[in-house]
Structure formats: C-alpha cells, structure tokens
Amino acid sequence: MERYLVGGAVRDMLLGQPGADRDWVVVGATPEQMIQAGYTPVGRDFPVFLHPETREEHALARTERKSGRGYHGFVFHAEPGVTLEEDLVRRDLTINAIARSDDGRLIDPHDGQADIQARVLRHVSPAFVEDPVRLLRLARYYTRFAPLGFTVADETLELLKTMVANGEVDHLVPERVWAESERALMHDEPHLFFYLLRRAGALARLFPELNDLFGVIQPVRHHPEIDSGVHTLLVLAQVAAAGGDLSARYAALCHDYGKASTPARMLPAHHGHEERGVAPAEQASLRLGVPKALRDAGRLTARWHTHIHRLYELRPATLLKLFEGLDAFRRPERLETLLAVCDADVRGRLGFEYRHYAQPARARAAFEAARAVTAEPLVRAGLRGADIGAALARERTRAIADVLAG
C-alpha cells in the first residue's frame, strides 16, 4: 500500500501559494485494509477514508467511465490493481494531475510542471468534456490564477465550447453552479469568471440575465464603456477591489438586470430599469438557489440603487421610503450593501475609476439621524396605535431633512 499527495496541495506548493487542503490517493489497498489500518470510511460514490490522526482525505486509486449525462453520470472502479497513472489521467487539468510521494518524489505523467512554468491551464485528456462541472472549475481556476499570468490553452477553450454545444453544460445542477460561482466571486478578480464563461458560450446557459446585458448600449456621456454587460463586470471588479463582501459582489451582478428589457425606442436611456430589474434578479437568484440574504441583496439593489445616485434630488420623505423599503432600521447591513454597490457603480465606468462620490457618506448620516428617532418618546407623550407610526415618520423625515440641509 502506497499513498501520494495529489491535486491542489501539490500544485500550490509548486506555485509557492498558500496550501490547499491536502488530499491523498492510495494505491494497492482494499477498503478492508484501510479500515483495519484505522481509517474512517466517508465516501458514498467511491472509497474515501479519513486518516486516523490528521483526518485528511485518502481516496483509493480509481478509474471512471462515463455512463450518463451530468456530474453524476459516471461509474467508478477502485481496486488494488489500479495504478497511480490511471488515477491521474482522470483528473481535470495537468497542473492538478501531479502526485508527490512521501519521500518527496514528483510523479507528473502529463507535464503539469511545464504548464505551471508556462502559466497555462490545460486539460489532461479529451475525457475532460464528460464532466460539466469541469467547465465551472476551470473558470474558477482561471479567476484565481489569471493574476499570476495564467491563460487557458486554446485547445482547452475549444473543449469548453464543445461542452456547451453538445448540451453537457445543461445538466449542471443549480447547487453546483452556485457553489463554484460563490467561490469565484470571492477571488480578487471575480469578473474574470464570467468573462471566461462568456467566451465558452456558457454564460447564456448559466447566467442568462447577465448575458442579456451584453450588447445593450448606454449613454456614452455617463458610460464611456457603452456596453451594459461590460459595465456590470466593471462594477463587480470595483466592489472586489474595495474588499466588498459576498452580498455586495452578488448584488453588483444583479443591479442592472433591468437594462436588458429596456424598449429599443428608449435606448440608450434606461428609464425605469430599476423596477424592471427586480423580477430578473429574483428569477436568477431562485434558479441558482442562492441564500435568501443574497437574494434580497440582489433584488433590493436593483430596485433602489439610482435613488442613492440621485440623493441630492430626493425629498426627505422619499429617502425615508428608501430606508423603509430596505427594512434598514432592522437590517442596516442592507443599506451598507446598497452603498457599496452604488460606489462601485459610479467607479465601474471607463475613466471614472477615481471619481469622488459623496452620496454614501450623506446617506449614512441621514440614516443614522433617522434611526436615532425612536417611538419611545411618542408613547410617553400619550400617542397610541397608528398615530405612533405617523408621528415617527414625521420625526424621522424631519431628522433626515436637517442632515440634507446641512
């Protein structure tokens, strides 16, 4: 029985990057032998065991054969006679198909080290097209490693296009699409994930609401980049550069979905795109199965973002309506998400990257003034029922007006 460190841990070690989870492949063993050695079985589809001390995953070397469509359409074969090389050939990319023995020897049958040096993401074998999750994983790897100079091999990009053309990508389950997308969104340059999906033709299948924005024009005076899809990904890039959390990054994707349905006669203006954006933002979130907090962030940002841009034009009562629409008095983090996207929305335009944008600070000040007004004094004054709500709104409106006038 021999074990080898495989996959991301070896890749990241060679790249000098912080280590990924350490995964091991075991050659020459049976499940019974693993259990007798103290390993705990955890694999459902194929034999995987946890080391008795480190709790790191150890999988028996295996081969796989395509038996149906989608991620689960495989038959796995694991027995002591399966070699390390047979296990490595089923992996996705050459940089992930390198093994390291306990004595430090590298086993690299597919020249993954050369591709690391050349900064190339390349598939191991034509069987790459059999698993649609690999398309998502490759897009995520590209998002992570492009800042290090990595590109996708031309022949691998062609395989991605094949996976879209033959319908394999249509068998991706929403949970897996979101799982990979969520991880990609938290990388330093998450917009690259969506650009690669678009180059492969997969964006229209997986994120149709985003894909529909490409080719939709905007007023060049306000949007020198012109294209609504390009603008959306510039906004995402700005949110990420500012260290925005997942809610802000996801809301950035959704904020302009309404522009895809702007009537042609109105272009390049997009009056009313805020209200039109609510339904597609909700539709995309439900299809992907994103958590409710993110779904709310996408929908609310689509609806209210231009109110922040027009803050100095708004009446105090309208600004209070915005705060109430966000339910910000109970969930102030929603306002912070909206402000983060609005700031990025201004800077996510060619030549606007360093534009001063004072609205978030003024909106926060107005909100804090309104939040400081509570119902307690009104109750002590003898107000009851609906009169409390009406008086609270008046006092909060007055507090907002004082801030806006300052």
pLDDT tens-digit series, residues 163-198: 999 999 999 999 999 999 999 999 999 999 999 999
DSSP string, 37-65: TTPEE--SSS-EEE-TTT--EEEE-EEEE
**Are 166 and 129 in contact, with CB atoms under 8 Å apart?**
yes
Q: Is the pLDDT of residue 272 over 90?
A: yes
In the chain, where are the structural domains located?
A: 1-118
- Over range 314-318, report the average pLDDT: 97
pLDDT tens digit sequence for 54-97: 899 899 988 876 545 545 545 667 788 899 999 999 899 999 99
Rounded to an integer, the average pLDDT of 347-358 is 92
CATH fold group of domain 1-118: Beta Polymerase; domain 2 (3.30.460)
**pLDDT mean over 5-9:** 92
pLDDT score of 288: 96
Confidence band of 47 (pLDDT split at 50, 70, 90): confident
Adjacent-strand bridge partners of 40 = 50
CA distances to 84, 317, 330, 375 from 378, in Å: 75, 19, 19, 5
- The H or E element that residue 23 is part of is strand 23-27
Q: Report the pLDDT value the prediction gives residue 71, as an integer from 0 to 100.
A: 52
Question: Has residue 20 got a pLDDT over 90?
Answer: no
Task: Give pLDDT, residue 323.
Answer: 98
Q: Is the pLDDT of residue 370 over 60?
A: yes
Joined together, the tokens standing for residue 90 give 């089923």
Question: Which residues are CB-contacts of 48 (< 8 A; sequence separation ≥ 6)?
Answer: 41, 42, 57, 58, 59, 60
Q: What is the pLDDT of residue 209?
A: 98
Mean pLDDT confidence for 337-347? 97
Q: What confidence score (pLDDT) does residue 69 get? A: 55
Rounded percentage of the chain residues whose pLDDT exceeds 90: 82
Query: Residue 102: what pLDDT?
Result: 92
Local confidence band at 381 (pLDDT 50, 70, 90 cut-offs):
confident
Strands 120-121 and 62-66: what pairing? Answer: unpaired
Separation CA 211–CA 99 (nearest Å) = 38
Q: Identify the pLDDT of residue 11.
A: 95
What per-residue confidence (pLDDT) applies to 43? 72
Residue bearing the bigger pLDDT, 191 or 377:
191
Task: Return mean pLDDT, the chain.
Answer: 93
pLDDT at 290 over 90: yes
Instruction: Tell me the C-alpha to C-alpha distance, in Å, between residue 18 and each of 283, 302, 352.
Output: 37, 37, 34
CB atoms within 10 A of CB 349: 20
Place 218 in a pLDDT band, splitting at 50, 70 and 90: very high
Question: For residue 112, what pLDDT band results from cuts at 50, 70 and 90?
Answer: very high
Angle (deg, nearest 10), helices 273-288 and 292-309: 160
